[in-house]
Structure 1
Amino acid sequence: MSDPQTLLLVDGSSYLYRAYHAMPDLRAVPGDPNSPATGAIRGMVNMLNALRLEVPAAYAVCVFDASGPTFRDHLYPDYKAQRAPMPPDLRAQVAPIHEVVRLLGWPLLCVEGVEADDVIGTLARQGAARGLRVIIASGDKDLSQLVNERITVLDTMSGKRRDVAGVTAEFGVPPERMVDFQTLVGDAVDNVPGVPKVGPKTAAKWLAEHGSLDNLIANVHTIKGVAGENLRGALDWLPTGRQLVTIKTDCDLGRELPGFPDALDSIAVGAMDTLALHDFYEKYGFRSLARALQDGGARATADAASLDTSAVASAAQQREVHYETLLTWEQFDTWLARIQAAPLVALDTETTSLDELRARIVGLSFSVEAGSAAYIPLAHDGPDAPEQLPLDEVLARLKPWLEDPAAHKLGQHIKYDRHVLANHGIDVRGYVHDTMLQSYVLEVHKPHGLSSLAERHTGRTGLSYEDLCGKGAKQIPFSQVPVERAAAYSCEDSDQTLDVHGVLWPQLQADDKLRAIYELEIACSETLFRIERNGVLIDAQQLAAQSHDLGRRLMALEQQAYQIAGQPFNLGSPKQLGEIFFDKLGMPVIKKTATGARSTDEEVLEKLAEDYPLPATLLEHRSLAKLKGTYTDKLGQLADPRTGRVHTHYAQAVAVTGRLSSNEPNLQNIPIRTLEGRRIREAFVAPPGRLIGSCDYSQIELRIMAHISGDAALLHAFTAGLDVHRATAAEVFNVPLEQVTSEQRRYAKTINFGLIYGMSSFGLAKSLGISTAAAKNYIDRYFERYPGVRRYMDRTRLEAKERGYVETVFGRRLVLPEINSPNGPRRSAAERAAINAPMQGTAADLVKMAMVAVQDALDRERPDILMVLQVHDELVFELPEAEADWVRTEVPRIMAGVAQLQVPLLAEVGFGANWEEAH
């Protein structure tokens, strides 16, 4: 029943963006990329119907931004200047969204000249003055300034409720001081500058000490240090900043809502227009929603999945759940029998750490059917923790099932759970599905976390880790979470994982190419688990010596910089750099920051370094400082003290091209073009009696370009075994192959790789240090000699614009959200990505195939050889010296044979006592 004392205000503009980014790329005609996009419409319907159930208000308004400028744009022309324009696919869905909002019975409001926030602010204040309880449904933190005893902001996506206490706890200031807080901090999203270098903690501290921004300004002379200088420097700006961040609460709504707030009829929630809704759903391909309307289903519009999986999603939203906490052996034995009999079991671990190699188990949960799950608490040690089953004995009883490859298991980010269980001596087998990887293959440009997946595909929301443990300094370990809360959280995770799998797996089964990519990712996850577990040995003493050398060079460069500048200064201070560069030394100002300050960022330094010695010295200092701080100082500290090995983490579901990401530490970004960078690789060593072996694909992306483009001259160069850069130079410079000079080959190499990445004539000119006209001439001659490459590029741009994505040779989809953007630079960047992504993505596919194939061979024939690193197109091994011949022969053969392209794949191998020698 609707509450006659509640007014619900929906931030429609926020909702439609969330709907767009949360839903898959649905189309009115499924599978037809030329039919209208409908994902945002469908998501909006789901969200509004869920909200109506969650907040049964008698009065409600869904507020959207009107088109055109607002008073803030006139006040500050750069307001929101850096925001990307609305994606064309979303823009096309705005009118249908407005239509369906009205058909669902929601009053809708757009007011010209102000933003949706201002309309919401006005309605909230007037509704509260009328005695109504006001709920604002939005994830926008800016609306926190409206909160009082009668007004609450509810973020339905995260479950966060910002009442007076919630705002104060989150931001450190009460709602009535939020405008002051936002003025000081600024708003990067809306391009509103605050006080430079003043973040939330400083702003909250100042306001706590001085009570208000006005009092702070009155006592500005008492604020010490750089922060005080910055505050004094921003005094002229702060009144404008305050106007920009202040939500209006006095908009004239007379035309839109005559009689409000005294007459509430204009904002009363109406009934759904079922007949018109049915036609609307049919028009946009929402057949399950249309059928449910015909059947009279009261919650018909709450299902949220593709047409093939809507029944699964709808059921997931509406059913009751049955979660059990296992505290006795009788309960355990009952559930062990269930998981042993189940065809597929979702498994989730709760642990002591996010560091997968150090994490220990706190509890385990299982789900074997929709809505049913069990949690086994094993190491909860909070004050009210009940007696639990012994961890070691539980794991011993589970071990046969966990290590049985025929017992099929499902998880979310299974590599993490494999490590956690391996820490307890269990080598899990039988992981056949991973919902994170399913999402990564199907919707690479969307978030792949479980909460996002559950909400996007099943409409379910649930507890978050922060809900249980808190955050920041007050966060408690999971082991201290009350068992009943921990059980609800963990069971929900397993249950939701099973639900999401039920939606995503049928979509993969329906597409042979995507299913093959998914199966490759599952196999790759297993190989990466092995690589991470192996780790690579580090020579900590050598790194310490390198750090010492770098430290001395940094001190020398610092003194050199002082000498050039004619004074000592802080090399990391943009303010001091600006004064020395532009005031003292008279260098030209290249660009300015958002606050109008003269920029001294990396791009500016590189430009100035062409003509001035001081920027060149600073660039060298920054480069060496980064090497020291990131690698030589830290790698030794990150090594396992027991083994001396560093274990990087490979993130599989990050890069849209399919490439892997290495972190903690990042071993893929060690610079190899400098002597100092190569020296770092010397610290990656083999133990006595063993070698480091490195095998990498030769010119892999150029070979893929030859295959994809089918260009006859490029194909000939590779099939004939020619030096492709020399062959390109012969074509571009029109000289015989044997007469190509080293300089001409260098130019040709730059052209070859530059065009793969969509380099313009301007970019090529900059790389080669030649005129733009000369660079354009080289590019034109390249395309004359390699017309197939030009045809490929033209064809790919058109296909990308039509489909919104490109594909690798093996069918991985690489989505390009900006390919039809009205913003020229964004569209051009997407077009360059469209050309490069199939090559980079195909290379990623090939390397993953190679990793899996080589690991299979090692397991069968040479288990004493360890794969210890994967870096771009290179696999690194640690091997007994006696196995060098096998690696030299077999690994390149396996890598070259994982796929048949129109040109031969070539892998080259090297050996040494360390990685640098082997590479």
Structure 2
Amino acid sequence: MREKILLIDGHSILNRAFYGLPDLTNAEGLHTNAIYGFLNILFKILEEEKPDYLTVAFDLHAPTFRHKQYEAYKGTRKPMPMELREQIPVMKDVLSAMGVTMITKEGYEADDLLGTVAKKSEEKGMDVTILSGDRDLLQLASSHICIRIPKTKGGKTTIEDYYENDVKEAYQLTPLQIIELKALMGDTADNIPGLPGVGEKTATKILLEYGTVENAKAHAEELKPNKAKTAFLEHYDLAVLSKELATICIDSPIEYDWEGAKIHNLYTPEAYEFFKELEFKNFLSRFEDTGEENKIEESFRYITDFTETEKIFERALEEPVVGIELLEEKGQILGLGLAWGEEETEVYSILPQGFVTEDYLIEKTQEFCQQGKLIASLNIKAMLRYMDLKSHNDMFDAGLAAYLLNPLKSEYTYDDIAKEFLGEMFPAKEDLLGKLSYIKAANEKEEELAKSVCYMAYTALKSRTSLLEALEKENMKELYTDMEMPLLFTLADMEKEGILVEAEALKEYGEKLQVRIEALEKEIWEQAGEEFNINSPKQLGVILFEKLELPGGKKTKTGYSTAADVLEKLAPEHKLVADILEYRQLTKLKSTYADGLANYIAEDGRIHSTFNQTITATGRISSTEPNLQNIPVRTELGRLLRKVFIPKDGFIFLDADYSQIELRVLAHMSGDEKLIQAYQEAQDIHRITASQVFHIPFDEVTPLQRRNAKAVNFGIVYGISSFGLSQDLSISRKEAAQYIESYFQTYPKIKGFLDGLVEEAKEKGYVSTLFHRRRPVPELKSSNFMQRSFGERVAMNSPIQGTAADIIKIAMIRVNKRLKEENLKSRLVLQVHDELLIETAKEEVEQVSAILEQEMKEAAHLSVALEIDMHTGENWYEAK
């Protein structure tokens, strides 16, 4: 049997992986997508090919060029993105750790080295596979040399194989004629110029008739079409140069050691450490037992026996710190994890079975947590859904701590926390359970589920110290202990309380929407002159921009754009477009809210939304299942939806909303005297801004000027650009730029403050709120201009929006605490950005109003007073 050698074009495969995969970074901020993609392709090919030898060729100074006359042309090659460039040396280190042979040679490109080793290996009687994204290498194909070219489409990578006959079938040419083809048609990817005006079809036709570039030149007068004839006569020197550039050297002076390129065990301890550091968890299973994971798992015990469970709880009472994880999903308790011990750690997973019921686990956990022990968990709020735990002082939430230290992640799982704060690589939920939900895993993979619960409890226990140290180091420990932990208990109270919904009123609201939707549908069809699917952008685009020939049609690959911004510009002039926008709005109201909210009404008639602390990067609280923070307020129909939210009998809604809190935070943080003075004098901030920006007396400001000034005021907070403001106000970009410039002249310290935030973010990598909450801004290091611009807006806005979010959190904690301490029946039921809603006993309205006013206004002491608007109502609509 012939031996097999696998040769890889290093830069080509790295480049393909970089552009084919979304951006990935590890904990240190190193971009890793190219390395990950390279390894993914490498392992796939190794499994398919099972080669005896392996070598990766790299350009010594990518990109290099074979021809001195071509030096000037290389300036057109795009520079390599920094995010890719930084991965190349790491990739080489990883390959070195795996014992993979790498080759480079001064003055020669990687494909020259691949060509040389491929041909010499073929001469030695080997089968050769070359992996590359560069089709120039097809010239090397033979009956024993296969060129494999990865092709990514729709996120999936397939690999095309080319032996000699495959090249002929695909291109109608021999492998060596691929050189001639590139000489004639050129290759922009490789900066090979080719002949002007000669494409692949013409070049192939010429070569099928004349064989080579030189022979075609000899028959130049006979060439068809005329532009090919002209190209040969006037630019033949380019074809000669292109042929030289396209020709791969197969006798480059490289010393190659086949014995050294033999594949041994690639999964070395050194490579394992690299894979851990790069956070490539999916690849770790390829390594033989490293000892670490199994050593930890040796301490895991899975319990279902009632008597043994009782003993475990008794044993845990002797420990000062215990890791606890209550695993629940959709209201079902699926397991409990317990872990303790510094040196010798004991870890238990208790699964409901027999006398060990779900209720028993809840009861025992609550009893245990009330013993004054230090409790560490990944998700304390999950426990609070089932039990009443009074104090947060003895509790540690590892997920919450990890969020503060890096708020950019989408979730904070035990394996991620263990990797970052314990230096351990644990199997993730997906590794143990696949795509199964926890509920399904309880029936199908009980042992793996038990192991997963053990890892959770172990990680919560062991990460506590390092997480606290990291919070202390980053000056966020106080933020964690005094704000986020008490808030966790406040949010749990709100989730338990829920908000009452008048189901019949919600149904009627939906029915009224449906009547209007059907009427609009008929009106739209009549105006269009035919029935069509209004929800189909493709069909709608054809109606608007082809049949009715409305202006402003933007053709895309999938048809005309019918996005809201396109239609909003046409709406004032065309009733049909205005009707379509209303139709869209009403169908969304019906599906998302009228129909959607009905599915969330619990048996008690209330909706119990989930309030999330660890979702937004700025620190804002979000609401899910359902999202009650997104109830529409811009239109009357949307606002009417609030009427279905009502207080229980004997109660009334009390709603308080911060007035312009982000602008007040901006005034304080920037220290701008004019803005501070305007607030201190209790002036209409938008009117005074209009007066100063437009240089007109305060009393002569028109409603339009005030609206424009309001857009600038709030736009500045969000780092708005002249383009963004021009879109918002329907004015020219030049006018918008003048507005912004005038604004900064009016409030001079604001510009310096915002610019300073961007500089701080560039220097430190993050910005902070007044309460030391950090928001990393990695986008500022991007090589992409749009990403950097986004990063600048984030740097300007996050400290302001984050500080406002912190202030409302402080107010929530204090209000909730006062309501409980003063034994009031009234309860905080909802938070929507800067607004708090309290279901207030009618006899407590005066007392609760005083609490709200005091705690919201005194949540922070700024250089401008915090003000609130407060209202009562028989439903949320009236209270707002």
Q: When the two structures are superposed, what TM-score results if normalisation uses the length of structure 1?
A: 0.69
Structure 1 position 407, deviation (Å): 1.6
Please say if residues 319 and 340 of structure 2, whose CA atoms lie closer than 8 Å, have aligned partners that are also in contact. yes
Q: Work out which of the residue numbers 413, 417, 421 in structure 2 matches 1:453.
A: 417
Q: Work out which of the residue numbers 571, 592, 598 in structure 2 matches 1:630.
A: 592
Structure 1 CA distance, aligned partners of 2:59 and 2:582? 48
Q: Work out which of the residue numbers 567, 582, 588 in structure 1 matches 2:545.
A: 582
Task: Show the counterpart of 1:30.
Answer: none
Matched, 1:379 2:379: no
Counterpart of 1:367, as a letter, is: A
Q: 1:90 to 1:867 in 2, by over 3 A?
A: farther
Does the residue aligned with 1:477 lie in a helix, a strand or coil? helix
Structure 1 position 598, deviation (Å): 2.7
Matched, 1:504 2:472: no
Matched, 1:361 2:328: no
Q: Work out which of the residue numbers 598, 605, 616 in structure 2 matches 1:655.
A: 616
Structure 2 CA distance, aligned partners of 1:89 and 1:431? 44
Aligned identity (percent) is 32
Q: Work out which of the residue numbers 353, 373, 378 in structure 2 matches 1:407.
A: 373
For structure 2, list consecutive stretches of 5 or more residues without a partner in the other structure.
65-77, 132-147, 159-169, 171-200, 202-246, 280-289
Please say if residues 305 and 458 of structure 1, whose CA atoms lie closer than 8 Å, have aligned partners that are also in contact. no
Counterpart of 1:413, as a letter, is: N
Structure with higher RCO (Cα < 8 A, 6+ apart): 1
Task: Show the counterpart of 2:831.
Answer: 870
Q: Work out which of the residue numbers 748, 752, 763 in structure 1 matches 2:724.
A: 763
Q: Work out which of the residue numbers 22, 26, 31 in structure 2 matches 1:23.
A: 26
Structure 2 CA distance, aligned partners of 1:585 and 1:905? 53
Structure 1 CA distance, aligned partners of 2:618 and 2:59? 35
Please say if residues 711 and 788 of structure 1, whose CA atoms lie closer than 8 Å, have aligned partners that are also in contact. yes
Task: Show the counterpart of 1:416.
Answer: 382
Task: Show the counterpart of 2:505.
Answer: 542
Please say if residues 351 and 450 of structure 2, whose CA atoms lie closer than 8 Å, have aligned partners that are also in contact. no
Please say if residues 534 and 540 of structure 2, whose CA atoms lie closer than 8 Å, have aligned partners that are also in contact. yes
Q: 1:258 to 1:559 in 2, by over 3 A?
A: farther
Counterpart of 2:308, as a letter, is: Q
Could you report, residue by residue, the CA deviation over 1:668-725 in whole angstroms, capped at 9, with x for unpaired residues?
1111110111100111101121001111211000001101111110010112222211
Structure 2 CA distance, aligned partners of 1:66 and 1:608? 56
Counterpart of 1:407, as a letter, is: K
Counterpart of 2:92, as a letter, is: H
Structure 2 CA distance, aligned partners of 1:378 and 1:675? 51
Task: Show the counterpart of 1:277.
Answer: none
Q: Work out which of the residue numbers 266, 290, 299 in structure 1 matches 2:261.
A: 266
Q: 1:364 to 1:429 in 2, by over 3 A?
A: farther
Structure 1 position 92, deviation (Å): 3.8
Counterpart of 2:686, as a letter, is: H
Structure 2 CA distance, aligned partners of 1:257 and 1:322? 58
Q: 1:91 to 1:713 in 2, by over 3 A?
A: farther
Does the residue aligned with 1:587 lie in a helix, a strand or coil? coil
Counterpart of 1:647, as a letter, is: H
Structure 1 position 326, deviation (Å): 2.5
Q: 1:784 to 1:347 in 2, by over 3 A?
A: same
Does the residue aligned with 2:396 lie in a helix, a strand or coil? strand
Structure 2 CA distance, aligned partners of 1:912 and 1:468? 51
Q: 1:623 to 1:918 in 2, by over 3 A?
A: same
Structure 1 position 107, deviation (Å): 3.4
Does the residue aligned with 1:650 lie in a helix, a strand or coil? strand
Structure 1 position 871, deviation (Å): 0.3
Q: 1:188 to 1:468 in 2, by over 3 A?
A: closer
Task: Show the counterpart of 1:557.
Answer: 520
Could you report, residue by residue, the CA deviation over 1:635-671 in whole angstroms, capped at 9, with x for unpaired residues?
223111x211001111211111111111111111111
Task: Show the counterpart of 2:566.
Answer: 604
Task: Show the counterpart of 2:788.
Answer: 827
Structure 1 position 912, deviation (Å): 0.6
Please say if residues 16 and 40 of structure 1, whose CA atoms lie closer than 8 Å, have aligned partners that are also in contact. no
Matched, 1:442 2:409: no
Structure 1 position 890, deviation (Å): 1.7
Q: How many residues align?
A: 727
Q: 1:398 to 1:714 in 2, by over 3 A?
A: closer
Deviates more, 1:321-330 or 1:862-871: 321-330
Structure 2 CA distance, aligned partners of 1:829 and 1:470? 36
Q: Work out which of the residue numbers 575, 587, 592 in structure 2 matches 1:613.
A: 575
Structure 2 CA distance, aligned partners of 1:564 and 1:853? 56
Matched, 1:342 2:342: no
Structure 1 position 344, deviation (Å): 1.9
Structure 1 position 913, deviation (Å): 0.6
Q: 1:726 to 1:468 in 2, by over 3 A?
A: same
Matched, 1:95 2:93: no
Matched, 1:718 2:690: no
Structure 1 CA distance, aligned partners of 2:669 and 2:865? 13
Please say if residues 767 and 795 of structure 2, whose CA atoms lie closer than 8 Å, have aligned partners that are also in contact. yes
Please say if residues 653 and 875 of structure 2, whose CA atoms lie closer than 8 Å, have aligned partners that are also in contact. yes
Structure 1 position 624, deviation (Å): 0.8
Please say if residues 726 and 737 of structure 1, whose CA atoms lie closer than 8 Å, have aligned partners that are also in contact. yes
RMSD (Å), alpha carbons: 4.7
Deviates more, 1:650-659 or 1:387-396: 387-396
Does the residue aligned with 1:350 lie in a helix, a strand or coil? strand
Structure 1 position 69, deviation (Å): 10
Structure 1 position 439, deviation (Å): 1.7
Does the residue aligned with 1:868 lie in a helix, a strand or coil? strand
Q: 1:795 to 1:428 in 2, by over 3 A?
A: closer
Q: Work out which of the residue numbers 851, 863, 873 in structure 2 matches 1:890.
A: 851
Structure 1 position 915, deviation (Å): 0.8
Task: Show the counterpart of 2:877.
Answer: 916
Structure 2 CA distance, aligned partners of 1:740 and 1:855? 42
Does the residue aligned with 1:454 lie in a helix, a strand or coil? helix
Matched, 1:682 2:643: yes
Structure 2 CA distance, aligned partners of 1:740 and 1:544? 45
Structure 2 CA distance, aligned partners of 1:776 and 1:832? 16
Matched, 1:817 2:778: yes
Counterpart of 2:352, as a letter, is: A
Structure 1 CA distance, aligned partners of 2:267 and 2:449? 39
Does the residue aligned with 1:512 lie in a helix, a strand or coil? coil
Please say if residues 695 and 907 of structure 1, whose CA atoms lie closer than 8 Å, have aligned partners that are also in contact. yes
Structure 1 CA distance, aligned partners of 2:392 and 2:687? 49
Counterpart of 2:418, as a letter, is: A
Q: Work out which of the residue numbers 862, 869, 880 in structure 2 matches 1:901.
A: 862
Q: When the two structures are superposed, what TM-score results if normalisation uses the length of structure 2?
A: 0.72
